[in-house]
Amino acid sequence: ATPMSVMVGVGRGASRGILIRNAEALERLAAVDTLVVDKTGTLTEGKPALVGVEGDDDALRLAAALEAASEHPLAKAIVDGAREHGLTVPEASGFDSVTGKGVRGTVEGRRVAVGTAALMAEEGADPAAFAAAADAARAQGRTAMFVAVDGRAAGLLTVADRVKETTPGAIRALHAEGLRIVMLTGDAEATARAVARDLGIDEVVAGVLPDGKLDAIRRLQAEGRTVAMAGDGVNDAPALAAADVGVAMGTGADVALESAGVTLVGGDLSGLVAARRLSRATVRNIK
């Protein structure tokens, strides 16, 4: 690479809010044929709001007590939702975060867990009574979380996270560039499919833990694809680092910025179309 052409390319990107780490990232971008995107915080705003509560009167209050200790965006939705319902949120006396599954701990001497069906199974709680409501919420692209109290399914909390205004246009532009777009999420399959269908996303990998995100990137690479992965860094830093080009949403976690080849300052995916054009122009100058 001629240092001059790379500097010009990097400089042009920066003036449009596209930060490119180095010559390698700029050159690799031209070869990318697959874009993997995290759902929460990348396609969506990452600011979920509580929209549904089912089950015992106490379920939301006890769930919020645990979530007050969690940093997850879903946790904030539940705590804010409880306050909006006029509830006083008690202190939790023990708290454990179970990555990609939820939270559990002790509130008012009771064992409480909030999260996925897999977490409920670990608690010995059968969420069958809430399955239909969970399915209905997921079909609308909402995230459903079960609440267990003392090993018994006690409630269902559903949250909605708006798709970013810029996402549909960005997906269209990236498709026009010939990219295959894959959604990767820890959320349930039905939720992911509902969001993907509305956006015209080509493939969905759902229900994965952070290690599963890494595996998904490796599988695509093993199929001969050159992969860019866009994420906000919450749970997806290993996947960002394994991709041929890691793309951080500038609005996300610092850890994403550290492992990314490209940072989109405004968090708008359509910046990638411009970045690829720069990349190709630079590669042409080099050759």
List of residues contacting Mg ion (CB under 5 A):
40, 234-235
Rounded to the nearest 5 degrees, what angle is found at the Cα of 225, between the Cα atoms of 237 and 9? Answer: 70
Q: Indicate whether 138 belongs to the interface with ligand ADP (CB under 6 A).
A: no
Half-sphere exposure of 104 (CA within 13 A, CB side): 21
What track of x and - describes contact with ligand ADP for positions 51 through 80 (by CB under 6 A)? ----------------x--x-x-xx-----
Separation CA 193–CA 172 (nearest Å): 18
State yes or no: residue 267 binds ligand ADP (CB under 6 A): no
Query: Which of 61, 142 has the CB closer to Mg ion?
Result: 142
Residue 192 in contact with residue 161, Cβ under 8 Å? no
Q: Which of 20, 65, 145, 181 binds ligand ADP (CB under 6 A)?
A: 145
Rounded to 5°, the CA angle 52-166-201 comes to: 75
Burial of 281 (0-12, 13-18, 19+ CB in 10 A): middle
In the list Mg ion, ligand ADP, none, the entry touching 123 (Cβ below 5 to 8 angstroms by class) is none
CB of 269 to ligand ADP, least distance (A): 16
Write the binding mask 19 to 38 for ligand ADP: x where contact by CB under 6 A, - elsewhere.
-------------------x
**Residue 101 found at the interface with ligand ADP (CB under 6 A):** yes
Phi, psi of 88 (to 5 degrees): -95, 120
Structure tokens at 76: 């904030």
The residues binding ligand ADP (CB under 6 A) are 38-40, 67, 70, 72, 74-75, 100-103, 114-116, 143, 145, 185-187, 234-235
